[in-house]
Structure 1
């Protein structure tokens, strides 16, 4: 569940108290709840239930302003932890004049301040100068790094050699970070021998201490730093702002409830509420602070004798025939009787415990292997292993390509799932590279979670996917059911994702138009096969450029069936919980929860637009009208300026422009808001195959009535705005 109705003493009755696994205590509350669930709009938050798991975001009228950030913890002591800030980046790209860089800026709502005790301003790299200023330019904080000699790793604490770190002032809720090379006497080439990239960011000090090596290792990973960037966690201080305790206590809207006391905020104006000693709970609710029953907790009971709870306190006493104050931190209780055999009892207890330890260790040694065997058998049965064996035996010879691996097989193939073998992490799990004993290279997917109630459906899907035999679909080789969650074994595709090859590197496109058209045709043919030619129709539900892999011959292969659903033969749609990736998600499916084959058609249309423009489907660094690539693309066609957003390298050959118009028109039809008006994937595949086979022998400009073909190839090309995936020279 994304959210839960409150039965918690931390939240008002009837209000949602969770988003995913993050608790939401009052004075905070969620957008969509009654306004009394939060103190005022400054404490209103937003739960993004489209994400999996749901993410808790800072609320803003413009949802997109904070959609890349998420809150991980809220403390009633006045702290809030979140992944928030992008690092500023400066990279040397290969010659003395070519660099990639972007600065970063943050503006928090007024209720928050960046913690001056738990955050630090940090610069990582060589010969870098970073400056942090507030929006009013009232202060400047600078940090300089140098690398006077070749250094292999960063030393903590940062001392200026490869890393610089400094504190931030109190009251900071907005800043701009600028990063550049500071030593003009040193050439880019000299600095790049040690570090080609520099990062400047504000982050949680504890997080930086445990991630310093990872950040230092990014110093020469230009492609990752420029195209992906680095998002860092910060700690925010929150308070009831703009009044001191003395001022607020005279006001009708004083935030503290009963049995509380007030302290002034140490970071910016405002105050905080706390339960007085002997009480615990939420001090911001009228009756949130409740009496602590100190005697109830047997492990932390303050008394050695008799404990009696009182309102806000307790007292200790000694039992009959003993004396003292009864407190663990005081005199305790002393028995009046003499001659009690303390030594004998102590020795007896000691020898008894020693015997128990020896016996327990021996039993543990004997039963350890049996327990491991039983655990594997339990997981095998729990994950449908016997059901899968039964299905295979009933169709002898029908599943000769499906193998049931043991966990020992896959641990050997991945060196016990070593992190060095990780190919990637996603919302559904982690993918490892493995080498089987016969030297075959495979990809092993380790899912995050499996639904116990859908084991039979999972086994059915494994059997069906294993029978898919299409040159453009990643082949399922087998599975392992001896672990808590099943492991799936696929063929290994070595040349990365289509997304990686679409994105521009140093301003040069990595794929020619012929490659793009062929990849689009192969992908469409694979999806059409899943929809129509497979034994049971399969809806992929997560078609995107990162799920289209390229082999060493740049042949496309559709992968990642983690969200796929089987479509019963007698149905054209099924009702499901909305899942997918923002930017590719079919709007009709998003609003109705009705999943059809046309949902895959819409997602494929977005991939076509990526191939035409070379841009990401969703970027919050672009302007508002350009932020959603699919919507902006359709708008460009309707307003007759298609060529302005086509990747410029594709327009060098005039003979290709006719094909670009045809593919653009096909993409527009795939992106139709109404699913029934979109073509089928079979129709899409046939159109692309016909276009791929077409040979253009002459380039004669034709005048037609279609508005998108009225543009001239010589039109002025205006690229989309640069964002932290572009590089500037």
Structure 2
């Protein structure tokens, strides 16, 4: 479709309805539209500033319609610096077989050498699925742009969203005087015909159109858009800017006006100065506004009109500036001393309140800055970066506030302490929803420990196993970082081995079950987690027991993630003496078999109730692992076992577990079983029927293994480990960290 070159015009709306609108003997209304000078109704009627600003009023319509001179472009609205005209819409419709129905795929509009340009308030819009629309301009500004709208189903669409799915919009530059818009469907619509039989492209006022999903299947969309989404045009008078035009005889701006340069084409516009009204293009120009008629002053004020402004003062007996928004007018007091005193009192009170608010504000800001400092200092940025890469971890990890945890632990009261260690303290906490938790609070936190702390959080967020202590969240805005775990109520396995041997529940079967549960959890870490995890500090103080005496692995501060394609990692040696893998200690090469060695020591601990390291024994008995292997080699196994184990366990179970311990603590890691093999073997041993063998052996050998007078539950105890420590959720006991040379 081609259109005759357009000439566009703009209305200047005066603030006052009594102002002169048009030249003498010229009409000012065309139907519902007011046409002010410099525009004028009639072709070559002399009612406009130039023929460019002529308006053709067609009275064959009811009511009459205004058109741009010499064209069929209908004017729909005028404002003080722009003109709005009826729109044109390119459309392409298809039937269900993909055939085009009355396509109108091209729109061309040319403003020619007129003083009008397309405003950048317009946006070029394409509606439909699998559609491309192009717009080019070659006058005023060289410009080429376009938009593509893609969607495969109605489920992709969002009301009000015009970013490329069902609807696409792009801006145009200032100064554009013509454009050519074309619509290029990218498909024949057969696949999407049910909800999108047509495509549309148009330029129009961006504030007048909001995308709706129903537009895609609305037969009246094109006509409705033409009627309701106008095209906005800018304009200017003259051919020079304000500086050059003021020196000419035909300068259009009259008295009390400001000249405004056009920023996209040659020319200018005239506006009434502040405090004046009227038509700036018609004599006598802009006239003073009598502001006092609208009572702009205080109710007890007096208004005096001035040229371009007004002045307020107060009536007799009142003081102030007389304005509504200023001090207003206050009745003068007959008791100035009392008034002065009252003012001083209110002033001092206001000052005091202000000082208190200021002090609290400063303290609050200092507290916020301090918490921000602690957040960064405690590795908050690193933790946020790590968690952001795993959306599920972010959802499952709660960030607690410092106040929340202070309240939960009764401000970290002494009676809430569950255990203490080298790095800090664990407190029992009760949250606002009555959930009982364990809060780990480090004593100090230096830069060398931040990575260990972040490591523990990241690893625990990736673990979901019934025999692993669950991390509930953390707090980084305190002086030292805080970790919040599920509360495990029945202390550590270390505590029960060395303090609860006589308890009825701590039977051989219970020990086997606890060992199997712990082994299963470690096997999960090694084999079934998203990325293999080496615990690196397996020991009985890090195995907790809940209310049902179910085992739960804790303390992942030293743990390491192992890339899928690696079997070992080189690290600083870290662990607890007595449980530490000798091969890892000497080489610095950490493997899954290092956890196997430490777990073997825990098994030996369960069978003998001896501590893993003793300073009161001779060299051969200092290490429980060495002592256990030597005892088996010298056929003294039954002499070192806990009497209760001898009484309750079957010979096969005890011998098989002992052999498993021996395999686990092999010096060469390649000769040790995997954690999965250990877990499977322990589960198998649990299922064996119990066959008491003590009496049978007594009959066969004639020598009792346990004297009737002996105390079956009396086990030698050493005093080098604290039996009341609670390392339920953190590394509280001493670890050994040694620098190493380049690993072999």
* TM-score, normalization by structure 1: 0.45
Higher Rg = 2
